Structure 1
Amino acid sequence: MYQQNFLRKKRNRLLAAGIAFVLTLIVTTTLVTINGLNNHQRRVAEQAQLVQSSLNSMLSDAHEATQKASRLLGGACDFNVEKALNMLPGRYRHIYSINVVHNQHISCSSLLANKHADIGFVLPLDKALWMSRTVRSPDIYVISLITHLPQGTLYVASDLRFLYEMLGSDLVIQVSGKTLTAAGLVKDSLAAAQFSHYEALPAHSPLYTLAWRKPEMSEIIGFTLNSWLSMGFILSMSAIMAALTWLLAIRRHSLYTQLANAIRQHQIHPHYQPIICAKTNAVSGAEILARWHHDELGFVPPDVFIPVAESTGLIIDLTESLLEQVVDDLQQGIAAFQPGFKLNLNISHAHVVDSTFDLFIDYWSPIFRALGITLVFEITERENIDICDALTRKIDHIKRSGIRIALDDFGTGFSNLAFISNLSPDSIKIDRMFTRQISQEAATPLIDCVIDMAKRMNILTTAEGVEYGYQVDYLKANQIDYLQGYFFSKPLCFSDFAGYLKRYRD
């Protein structure tokens, strides 16, 4: 049975720890990468908001400057007009020049060098907004707001250089088919192949489009690898999960080993909880319960070690060990039992379906028959038992051998009438959950129905978990057959159980 435990050997524990490390590595890397990508998108969004705000402010200044400059139109471009135009850009942070256009030439400007310049090759007057080099300084890029008025055409040029750093490597601005990048002005639009990785942000102005570059996979990975903090988190979490898996595997392996040793050395002992006949008040039997008191851990609850025994195959060895000790107890001769005295023992479904179960029956049934004890196998209803031909045959073999069958924990699991019919139990043990529902103030129809159904099917009933006198009175009044619980006695070692029998008879 030891070989059936997956984590029984060091290489399996290493494999489990390795799998935990890799899975955690994948999960944490994915989460950190997603977090890095989200952080990057958030930074780009904040950067885009700043660029948009600055660009809108620039255009707003250009509109305001246009309105003020329009008052100067309609007359000759004399000294006073040029002086007024020259003073306007000083009131706005980014305006480079204010220009009046007539017949494709600048007739008046805030920059004297622009006067009489031909703008046909720089500025298409059919556009409302245009990005280009300046008329006299080819190294400076401006965005020009073009306004047509009855008195003439005005265009206000704003310096774009301050936007370069704000754009960075992730943002671009498209205006009238041209695109401004951090490296300068490109004559292509966002539809060009070089901008295929860019995605337009929600439009906030009909005059321009702001777009951001979607990061490539190498950059996404870089968001993770370039952060020592992220890498430290990923590796530490992976190592922690691997260590926890290793420790859990060792703990499970350790518990399995200690359980196997305890069974082999008979350190898990049988205790006996009396079962009382409701009609005669006599002790008609007892349930055998496994109790393990570890030298270091102290009392180990059955809810802890029984599942381990069932999942690793040790339950068969545990059952054998308990029966051996029960036989030794009975052969001491310190207790006298009435003919037909019953000893109930829980049998796991995993044991019933084991290939050695028939040999187990053939070995133990004659031993208990010779001792004058009726052995009762309790099969718990909590297990989802598949009623098949092989199981039916084993149930028949149990009954032919003189062993009786009780359905344990009735009402809490998978049973139904068809299941009871196929299993044909001699008795059912009503779960303590129903017994707790009995109160002094109200009736308990559920437990009444169970008892009535069992009587109609000629099945004996035992109420588990009886703790109060009013529960005893209620159950007896409703014709329960047997009672079991702390009201009568807790589970006892055999010597105490023998003394209990003597006191109970006396």
Structure 2
Amino acid sequence: MTDALQMAQRRFRAQPIICARTKAVKGLELLSRSRLDFNDPQGMLIADVDAIKAAWAVANHYRGSMRVHCNVEISSMGSLLWTDTMVEYMCPGVVVELVERNDSLTCSRSFSRICHTVQWVRRMGGVMAMDDWTGKAIEMGMLRELSPEFVKVNEPRYLRELADCGLGLGTQIVVERIETLQQATDAERIGATELQGYWCDVHVEHEFPAEFTPPGVIARNMALTKVA
């Protein structure tokens, strides 16, 4: 195990992303082990820079056989520091999940800059995901302009709205917050191609490195400890 991978595992836990049909592990999402303040742009920039470095380390460890997702705030993606770090560390297998959390795209100039950076992500071998899609007008515009390879929603009910958006051929739809087998079954039936959540963590527990401490496994273990 390389020093870079060990550093990534110390700073980030990871959650598996599985195929909705076969339940095979398709990728993982890096999640900070530290509490983040989403209202602090500078703090989030530092976290997002660390995440792209960690994604590079994990993707290199898997030699392209495992997708590695990392988050980036729109405010971070518009910064020179994040862009320079991305150009240095981006590699095939890394998926950048773009998060529009605080209405950061307030003008066409900001949006144009984001579109330009997304082009660079793809040129460097990465792909894009839109995280926490809810169908807001600004997200509709981003969906059309950015054509992300992945769209992630927190609840299956958003899948019907996505179906009317004219997604690109091959776009993968990931439903997060899957906590039960019934939710997994319902999400697949409605149109999800991949799943993520506590139920998935436990379902593939023995196919996923324990060092990444998936949150669903930790929650299950804590519940068992309380019962005991």
TM-score range (shorter-chain normalised) is 0.7 to 0.9
Asked if 2 retains the 8 angstrom alpha-carbon contact of 1:315 and 1:351, the reply is: yes
- The 1:496–1:454 alpha-carbon spacing in structure 2 relative to 1, beyond 3 Å, is farther
Aligned counterparts of 1:330 and 1:290: Cα–Cα separation in 2: 17
What is the correspondence of 1:349-498 to structure 2 with a 5 Å cutoff? 349-365=74-90, 368-369=91-92, 374-386=93-105, 387=108, 388-411=111-134, 415-431=138-154, 434-435=155-156, 446-453=157-164, 456-458=167-169, 459-489=171-201, 495-496=209-210
Q: TM-score, normalised by structure 2?
A: 0.73
Question: Gaps spanning 5+ residues in structure 2: where?
Answer: 1-6, 215-228
Aligned counterparts of 1:390 and 1:409: Cα–Cα separation in 2: 21
What is the correspondence of 1:290-369 to structure 2 with a 5 Å cutoff? 290-292=32-34, 302=35, 305-307=36-38, 310-311=40-41, 313-325=42-54, 337=62, 339-365=64-90, 368-369=91-92
Per the alignment, residue 241 of structure 1 pairs with: none
Asked if 1 retains the 8 angstrom alpha-carbon contact of 2:55 and 2:70, the reply is: no
Question: 1:269 and 2:17 equivalent?
Answer: no
Structure 2 SS opposite 1:487: helix
Return the offset for 1:478.
2.4
Mark the structure with the bigger radius of gyration.
Answer: 1
What is the correspondence of 1:52-71 to structure 2 with a 5 Å cutoff? none
Return the offset for 1:417.
2.8
- The 1:382–1:340 alpha-carbon spacing in structure 2 relative to 1, beyond 3 Å, is same
Per the alignment, residue 31 of structure 2 pairs with: 289
Asked if 2 retains the 8 angstrom alpha-carbon contact of 1:275 and 1:283, the reply is: yes
Question: 1:280 and 2:5 equivalent?
Answer: no
Return the offset for 1:328.
5.2
Deviations 1:444-488 (A, max 9, x none): xx4341352367433220001001111111122223110001111
Question: Gaps spanning 5+ residues in structure 1: where?
Answer: 1-264, 293-301, 436-445, 501-506
Aligned counterparts of 1:468 and 1:359: Cα–Cα separation in 2: 41
Deviations 1:375-423 (A, max 9, x none): 1111123342435332221121112112111111110755343331112
Return the offset for 1:318.
2.3
- The 1:375–1:330 alpha-carbon spacing in structure 2 relative to 1, beyond 3 Å, is closer
Aligned counterparts of 2:121 and 2:59: Cα–Cα separation in 1: 22
Structure 2 SS opposite 1:398: helix
Asked if 2 retains the 8 angstrom alpha-carbon contact of 1:382 and 1:412, the reply is: no
- The 1:389–1:339 alpha-carbon spacing in structure 2 relative to 1, beyond 3 Å, is closer
Aligned counterparts of 2:10 and 2:131: Cα–Cα separation in 1: 22
Return the offset for 1:364.
0.7
Structure 1 SS opposite 2:141: helix
- The 1:401–1:416 alpha-carbon spacing in structure 2 relative to 1, beyond 3 Å, is same
Aligned counterparts of 2:97 and 2:11: Cα–Cα separation in 1: 18
- The 1:496–1:477 alpha-carbon spacing in structure 2 relative to 1, beyond 3 Å, is same
- The 1:325–1:408 alpha-carbon spacing in structure 2 relative to 1, beyond 3 Å, is closer
Number of matched pairs: 199
Q: TM-score, normalised by structure 1?
A: 0.35
Return the offset for 1:268.
6.8
Aligned counterparts of 1:346 and 1:272: Cα–Cα separation in 2: 12
- The 1:330–1:496 alpha-carbon spacing in structure 2 relative to 1, beyond 3 Å, is farther
Asked if 1 retains the 8 angstrom alpha-carbon contact of 2:12 and 2:33, the reply is: yes
- The 1:326–1:447 alpha-carbon spacing in structure 2 relative to 1, beyond 3 Å, is closer
- The 1:417–1:400 alpha-carbon spacing in structure 2 relative to 1, beyond 3 Å, is same
Return the offset for 1:320.
3.1
- Relative contact order (C-alpha < 8 Å, sep 6+): which is higher? 2
Deviations 1:236-293 (A, max 9, x none): xxxxxxxxxxxxxxxxxxxxxxxxxxxxx9997111100001133210001100012x
Asked if 2 retains the 8 angstrom alpha-carbon contact of 1:268 and 1:290, the reply is: no
- RMSD (CA atoms): 3.2
Aligned counterparts of 1:380 and 1:475: Cα–Cα separation in 2: 22
